Amino acid sequence: MTRLNKYIADCGICSRREADRLIAEGRVTFNGLPAQSGMKVGEDDIIEIDKKRISPVEAKVVLAYNKPIGVTCTEKDRYAEKTITDAINYPIRLTYAGRLDKDSEGLMIMTNDGELIQQMMKGANRHEKEYIVKVDRTVTDSFIDGIKKGIYLAELDCTTRECEAQKLGKCAFRIVLTQGLNRQIRRMCQCFGYNIKSLVRVRVMNIELGDLKSGEYREITGDELDTLYRQCGISRNE
């Protein structure tokens, strides 16, 4: 028997937290009846989301994808010019572990392993994400020191965690975050009067963007995949 939210995650639909939200919204049925959080699923039970039956994936896939500017991180949005699902056009359904906003580009991890998504997205795990940022003004030492210490973001009513940051050029810097607040780097820069001209994510945990071209993806395998799972504290066989 498997808890319902884990079963949904094992089907590659979303993380456990997102599965709980789907259940709360009444979009999940258990043997034809509205599902309740905490239910246990057996091999003969029928689970449907939005009236479509789901089942656990047989083969787990993990991709590194270089998201171009203009692609929206959503599966369905009638207002989006191009969704990530349309852009990657992979033969099986994949979900992203961590968003990038429409105006940002770079590395995204795409997978049908809900447990991996769950562990990568858990803020308490403090997994690193590295970015190269170009701004419209000279990067000063005081700016770098300021963003490293943490900044109160009034719009989100929270203070960012201390982070690693380094000046790379007159108007460029590198930053490593261990949290994923909405448009976090853009909001941090705006606090100091900077506007972002380009933002590229170049690393997620041990996975690096490298020379992967914009709009292309590669499958993560071997030792690289083993390390990713190990850093998430889960077994590839779970």
* Overall size of the chain counted in residues: 238
Task: For the chain, 238 residues long, give each residue's pLDDT as a single digit of tens.
Answer: 889 998 988 887 887 888 899 999 999 999 999 999 999 999 889 999 999 998 877 688 999 999 999 998 886 666 667 888 889 888 888 889 888 999 999 999 999 888 898 899 888 889 999 999 999 999 999 999 999 999 999 999 999 999 999 999 999 999 999 998 999 999 999 999 999 999 999 999 999 999 999 999 999 999 999 999 999 998 765 4
2-53 has which fold?
Answer: 3.10.290
Confirm if 193 and 127 have CB atoms less than 8 A apart.
no
Long-range contacts of 15-24 (CB under 8 A, 24+ apart): 15/95, 15/114, 15/117, 15/118, 15/121, 16/114, 16/115, 16/118, 17/118, 17/121, 19/114, 22/49
The CATH architecture assigned to 128-204 reads 2-Layer Sandwich (3.30)
The predicted structure's pLDDT at residue 78: 64
Q: Do the domains spanning 2-53 and 62-123+206-231 agree at the CATH topology level? A: no
- Alpha-carbon torsion angle 122, 76, 131, 67, nearest 10: 130
Among this protein's residues, is 157 annotated catalytic? no
Cβ burial of 87 (10 Å; 0-12, 13-18, 19+) is: middle
The predicted structure's pLDDT at residue 79: 65
List, in order, residues 6 or more apart from 190 with CB less than 8 Å away.
Answer: none
Write out the CATH class of domain 62-123+206-231.
alpha beta
Question: Domain coordinates of the chain in residue numbers?
Answer: 2-53, 62-123+206-231, 128-204
- From the candidates 20, 44, 77, 101, give the one annotated as an active-site residue: 101
Three-class DSSP labels, 106-142 = EEEEEECCHHHHHHHHCHHHCCCEEEEEEECCCCCHH
